[in-house]
Structure 1
C-alpha cells in the first residue's frame, strides 16, 4: 500500500506530522487549505477509516496505526473545541 504522510497546523500554530497507510487522504484534503476544526476531524475520521479498511481488504486485518493516528488527531483537536472559529491547515503531503 502506498503510505502517505500529511503535515498539519493546529489553531495555536503547532505543527504535526500525520500518517495514513493509504493515499486516500488526498481525496479529503488539499495542501494549503484551511478547514474548520470539526470538519477537519470528521474528514480525518472518514479518510483514516477508509485507509484502515483498505489495509483490511489487502492483508486481512485493520490498520492499527491509522486508528492510532485518528485517536491522536481527536485528542489534539479536543484542546481547541471551545475556541470559536478554530481551524486546521493542511500544509503538505509527503
Structure 2
C-alpha cells in the first residue's frame, strides 16, 4: 500500500508534515488550496479514516499511525478554533 506525506501551513504560519498510509488524501486535499479550519478538519478526518480502513481491509487491523496523525491534527487545530477566519493551506504532497 503506497503511503504518502503531506505538508500543511497552519494559520500561525507554522508548517506540519503529516502522514497517510494511503494516497486517498489526494481525493480530499489539493496542494496550494486554503481550507477554512472546519472544512480542513472534516476533510483530513475523512481521508485518514478511509486510509486506516484500507489498511484494515488489507492487513486485518486499522492503522494506528493514521489515527495518531488525525489526533495530532485535531490537537493542533484547537489553538485556532476561536478564530472564525482561520484557514489551513495545503503546501505539497510527498509521494
Q: What band does the TM-score fall into relative to the shorter chain?
A: over 0.9
CA displacement 1:27-46 (0-9 Å, x = unmatched) = 00000000000000000100
CA RMSD of aligned residues (A): 0.4
How many residue pairs end up in the alignment?
Answer: 94
Aligned match of 2:32: 32
Partners of 2:67 and 2:84 lie apart in 1 by: 27
Partners of 1:2 and 1:90 lie apart in 2 by: 20
Q: What SS does structure 2 have at the residue aligned with 1:7?
A: strand
Matched, 1:14 2:14: yes
Partners of 1:35 and 1:41 lie apart in 2 by: 9
TM value normalised by structure 2 = 0.98
TM value normalised by structure 1 = 0.99
Aligned match of 1:85: 85
Unmatched runs of 5 consecutive residues or more in structure 2: none
Q: How does 1:29-68 map to 2 (within 5 A)?
A: 29-68=29-68
